[in-house]
Structure 1
């Protein structure tokens, strides 16, 4: 007997949502790839998924999802391990949609319905997050403690007053509020797959101390991590590091082209292992809490 699941995708602009879907669609349609999940029935209309998947295969940068478009992407998937089938819906919404929701405190009626009907979410986060600025008093104490000089503009006694720019708001503040919006409409525990996209940037960064996805989340977005871990009655989450492209298209294209099977360039990391199986977050979401 098939089970129906709705998976809501969350993520700000350029967080990797569409690239993930493009690679996912290629993997599901490619029988040569040994993924945990297989497609059991093709959707009536797969034009959007086919277009972005073709661009992914051709190493093209995917264009942003149009703000006013709503791609529902209904799929029937089968778990290869137990033959269970699931009807899932994975809408692809523009990242601007979530920023506007946070800034204007309003959301689309369609998205509100999806939130109310779903208990499964994928939250995408790009490694280049917007981090909070230290308050001047904290900067001064820090610089004094470690004998560091303050920047010239911060040397005067009176700190410079800056006009608030919402686009410079810390990523973790926005994401926590987006989750708080959701919890206002949920009466049961929800399951969230946290996906750190462009994971190759983390792997290739010699200065990055956090090489495990959960450690990266805790180290770079502590407010979000603490919010999730402090509310176990509301959230069950698992963190993944995923590079759907496998590397930088500008500097590593030749290296990526060496793979005979396109799926081999995909990187999927958890805290315990690494694979090329981009269906892992969805498989985990399909499990029972």
Structure 2
């Protein structure tokens, strides 16, 4: 039996825990065909996975992984005709990656996980912070009849911090960090996961086209900055299938999801013109 590790990366709220909850339900319940099938799981992971999968099945929002509350999940999965493989990947708080960007710091344990040969990078398709252009701001102020500030007033209005930087800037910096010491481990496979794909699918774009339009800097870096030793694929994934309710509101969409007979059929995975319910697709590619 071989061992492969996959690191799950993404800024806060990018969908990492929801993906893991849906994945556990998918491989443990075996409701739909998958490229990878479940063999066994380390006992220490069971309580955490059962908890998040229970929330997922009930169409309830996941409690976000708190910083310092990271969980290491290790499953043994098997492709048809292949050898069982121990796949280890951490459920790491998004704040750990925000800290790498904003404070140039990385926890030693997280740094060890970031040396995995397989990378799942999550981007919430509906929560992309885009750059603001000075000319657009100027035109907006003119339309609203707001007089321009002088230098001192304009400086006082600027309250910048690293976490308000455009999403693509933060992600390019994270990927560059993984190409330099001490995180550089040579060739890797990178699966970009555009989560909440149900929010973006109505635009009629493929995941590759959507990323290129919404995050052109990241798109150019993926094509020209990663280098030939990194292979990449882009997936549009809806692990929830739609909006969930919260403690105050019950949404009709959440009720619709609960009425689906097989919860695994909520899942949508889009790649290279095809669509399936199989969340193991990007994992299977990372492991080959």
Q: Which residue is equivalent to 1:247? A: 242
Cα distance change on mapping 1:101 and 1:152 into 2, 3 Å? same
Q: Which residue is equivalent to 1:79? A: 79
Contact 1:228 1:235 in 2 (8 A): no
Q: Map of 1:6-155 to 2, 5 A cutoff? A: 6-45=5-44, 46-80=46-80, 82-116=81-115, 118-127=116-125, 128-136=127-135, 150-152=142-144
Q: Which residue is equivalent to 2:247? A: none
Q: Which residue is equivalent to 2:195? A: 197
Provide the TM-score with structure 2 as the length reference.
0.89
Q: Which residue is equivalent to 1:230? A: 224
CA deviation vs aligned residue, 1:152-178 (integer Å, no higher than 9, x gap): 376538684422132321011111111
SS at match of 2:66: coil
Contact 2:101 2:162 in 1 (8 A): no
Provide the TM-score with structure 1 as the length reference.
0.88
CA deviation vs aligned residue, 1:39-63 (integer Å, no higher than 9, x gap): 1122222111110001101111101
Q: Which residue is equivalent to 2:248? A: none
Q: Which residue is equivalent to 1:284? A: 285
Q: Which residue is equivalent to 2:175? A: 179
CA deviation vs aligned residue, 1:15-45 (integer Å, no higher than 9, x gap): 0000000000001101332111111122222
SS at match of 1:59: coil
CA distance in 1, matches of 2:57, 2:15: 16
Cα distance change on mapping 1:154 and 1:163 into 2, 3 Å? farther
CA distance in 2, matches of 1:154, 1:283: 55
Cα distance change on mapping 1:157 and 1:164 into 2, 3 Å? closer
Alignment of 1:221 onto 2:215: yes
Report the number of matched residues: 273
Cα distance change on mapping 1:174 and 1:154 into 2, 3 Å? farther
Q: Which residue is equivalent to 1:264? A: 265
CA distance in 1, matches of 2:11, 2:68: 15
CA RMSD of aligned residues (A): 2.0
User: Where do 5+ consecutive residues of structure 2 fail to align?
Assistant: 245-250
User: Where do 5+ consecutive residues of structure 1 fail to align?
Assistant: none
CA deviation vs aligned residue, 1:221-269 (integer Å, no higher than 9, x gap): 1111111110332421100011111011234123223321000111111
